[in-house]
Structure 1
Amino acid sequence: MTLLFSKLLLVSVLALSKAKFDPIAFSVSQHAALSVKNETVLPYLHTITNHMNRNEISNGVFTSREGGKFKCQVYAVAANTKKLFLDIWHNDQRVASLYAHSPHYGSGGNAVVLSLSEGDTVQVKTRINYPVDLFYATNRIYNTFTCAQIGSEALSNDETAISAFSVTSNRYQNVKGGDSIMYNTKLVDINNGFNLHTGVFNAPTSGIYIFQFFSLAHQNEELWQDLFHNDQYVCSIKCVTDFEWTGAGNTVILHLNANDTMTVKAHAGVANYLFGKQDQIYTTFSGVQVITDLDMSFPESYPVVAFSVALTHNVTIRAGSTVPFDKVFVNYKNAYNISSGRFVAPASGLYEFNYHGRTSSGIVLYLRLMHNQRYINSIYDDIPGHQASAGNAAVLELVGGDEVRLEALGSIKKLYGDPNEIYCTFSGYLLHAIVPGEIIVGK
């Protein structure tokens, strides 16, 4: 046995011995219409996924059974003509906010990464003196709460093995076109990759990252922001409405090399007047290294599954048809079929999915997430005279060969897309392989 072979064998054994990361993860939903006038914790009584039944979710309050870093996101839709005003709380600290109001139905969302200790709580609350009416109808699930513990299967015993950040802004901002969006609070910054002075994330290590950004425009103002990887355009968020505040968000998965940068900027030539207060936190930017390059060094023990796709042209979709995304950011194991628009799980395990959509002007947005023939949740937005946008997420336990797709509902849908204006995205990745080394498809 050569010395080199011995060293490689030792590295493999050490890596395998650390393969203990099995994340706490759940997705729950509000499975009925809800109308409240006082501060109330949203109950989220319907469980979409509660991985291995390890999560303590009592009447909408998530209590962490162990310490760690968690990516948490909330999406909601207001009832017809009603308002949506929600906050995400970590213990007694408000960490992010959601707002929506439309002459018809308004959609809101936000996402943050939190550092939790054992016994810490995360919950979603309404506000004192702000009536909230959430929409629900049969097989129309919009109001969701998802949390997933972050980590690395190959390096689960090392808290700095993965890199992650989550930053927020709780103030007004007038951002000139082309300038970076600025943030003034760090919730998490593992490995010190985010610079609050510049608004730029510099990747400490290489790997696959998921990025999410959200913001809310001031009353009657346009919101238009672009995400850049180094100096390359990635995707956007954009919204406008009449005499109201309106927001948007997006999600993408990318492979970064060490020292690559990620920045959110106001679209060139378009000033962004962003709304925020000490107790109203809408502008957020988060990134998590979901798979390290070391994980990818042992693909048989740690299956690397991740995809992120987008729409770069306008498309008309009939009800029941699958959304035909045409741009691929990443597609490890070729699990996403660009021809069929379907993701086929290459291995059994726990996956997280995120999706966002935007329509042409005056068109209602109505898409749903499907797991095989099982309905999971939907996005919906309707802003008369303007383009509608919304997003949603879920963690799902899949068996190798299972399919996940997005399909249109209602009347014919006209989704908006352009190579320089990417709003419609669909992303997913494997959090944890239930059967290590199992590859069902695409071996």
Structure 2
Amino acid sequence: MEERLRTMEERLQSKSSTEEQLQRENEALKTTVEMMQAKLESLQSIKEARQVAFSASLSASGSGHTGPFSSVESALIYRKVSANFGNGYNSETGIFTAPLKGVYYFRFYAHCHTGNKMAVSLYKNDKVQCSVFSERPWTNGNASNGIVLILEKGDQIYTKLWDESWVYDDPASYTSFGGFLLFPL
């Protein structure tokens, strides 16, 4: 009987020890799962933040020209926004503000009618990066340009007419501006 009792005590101690070990392993697994969930949520928010792209054309409705102005002080405002992932483009100011540091691609198109000077430049923080120009074409004129830029969070990109020039737009969206994040840095 004593031997049976001793054997039972040993089994109980062994089971108790095994139970304690399982509880420790269970707590470690809970901690690991919590850390993995936090990491997953972090990666999902980073992925969402990296979704940056916009495309807009000058006229929201109707047709007509913008310009000419003797002195151009502000950005062209593209009001017909077809995409604005990441909300970097502001259709009230015409300015794209980089939501995160990265390498971006921008492109813009401009259209003019016969005999009118058309000239537009793309700016990064008030510095010209590239331009298009057509000096009074004999037929309607179109021009486009694009550029890859490294931007810091908060950098601003926009286009401006040159003095004494103009662009035309209608529902076909001849004059437009867009860009997207290639990859974050």
> TM-score, normalising length from structure 1?
0.31
In structure 2, distance between residues paired with 1:352 and 1:390? 17
For the Cα contact (< 8 Å) 1:349–1:431, is it kept in 2? yes
Q: For residues 300 and 375 of structure 1, do their structure 2 counterparts lie closer, same or farther at Cα, with a shift above 3 Å needed?
A: same
Q: Which residue pairs with 1:331 in the alignment? A: 84
User: Residue 430 of structure 1: CA displacement?
Assistant: 1.0
Among 144, 150, 163, the alignment partner of 1:397 is 150
Q: Name the SS for the 1:300 alignment partner.
A: helix
In structure 2, distance between residues paired with 1:383 and 1:360? 8
Among 280, 286, 304, the alignment partner of 2:51 is 304
Q: Which residue pairs with 1:431 in the alignment? A: 182
User: Residue 315 of structure 1: CA displacement?
Assistant: 3.1
Q: Which residue pairs with 1:352 in the alignment? A: 105
Q: Which residue pairs with 2:168 in the alignment? A: 416
In structure 1, distance between residues paired with 2:135 and 2:145? 16
User: Residue 361 of structure 1: CA displacement?
Assistant: 2.9
The CA RMSD over aligned residues, in Å, is 2.7
In structure 1, distance between residues paired with 2:137 and 2:50? 45
In structure 1, distance between residues paired with 2:100 and 2:39? 24
Q: Deviations over 1:391-436 (max 9, x none)?
A: 00111111111110000113141x22112x21111111111112xx
User: Residue 11 of structure 1: CA displacement?
Assistant: 9.1
Matched, 1:315 2:65: yes
Q: Name the SS for the 2:108 alignment partner.
A: strand
Instruction: Kindly tell me the number of residue pairs found equivalent between the two proteins.
Output: 147
User: Residue 375 of structure 1: CA displacement?
Assistant: 1.3
In structure 2, distance between residues paired with 1:384 and 1:390? 11
Q: For residues 431 and 383 of structure 1, do their structure 2 counterparts lie closer, same or farther at Cα, with a shift above 3 Å needed?
A: same
User: Residue 380 of structure 1: CA displacement?
Assistant: 1.1
Structure 1 gaps, min length 5:
17-297, 435-443
Alignment of 1:144-183 (within 5 A): none
Q: Name the SS for the 2:160 alignment partner.
A: strand
Structure 2 gaps, min length 5:
1-28
In structure 2, distance between residues paired with 1:325 and 1:427? 10
Q: Name the SS for the 1:416 alignment partner.
A: strand
Among 89, 103, 122, the alignment partner of 1:369 is 122
Relative to total residues, which structure has the larger helix share, 1 or 2? 2
User: Residue 316 of structure 1: CA displacement?
Assistant: 2.1
Structure with higher RCO (Cα < 8 A, 6+ apart):
2
In structure 1, distance between residues paired with 2:40 and 2:117? 52
Q: For residues 403 and 10 of structure 1, do their structure 2 counterparts lie closer, same or farther at Cα, with a shift above 3 Å needed?
A: closer
In structure 1, distance between residues paired with 2:78 and 2:132? 17
For the Cα contact (< 8 Å) 1:364–1:388, is it kept in 2? no
Matched, 1:12 2:63: no
For the Cα contact (< 8 Å) 2:119–2:165, is it kept in 1? no
Q: Which residue pairs with 1:343 in the alignment? A: 96
> TM-score, normalising length from structure 2?
0.69
User: Residue 303 of structure 1: CA displacement?
Assistant: 2.0
Alignment of 1:14-93 (within 5 A): none
User: Residue 10 of structure 1: CA displacement?
Assistant: 9.8
Q: Name the SS for the 2:45 alignment partner.
A: coil
User: Residue 383 of structure 1: CA displacement?
Assistant: 5.1
The amino acid of 2:112's aligned partner reads T
User: Residue 333 of structure 1: CA displacement?
Assistant: 2.2
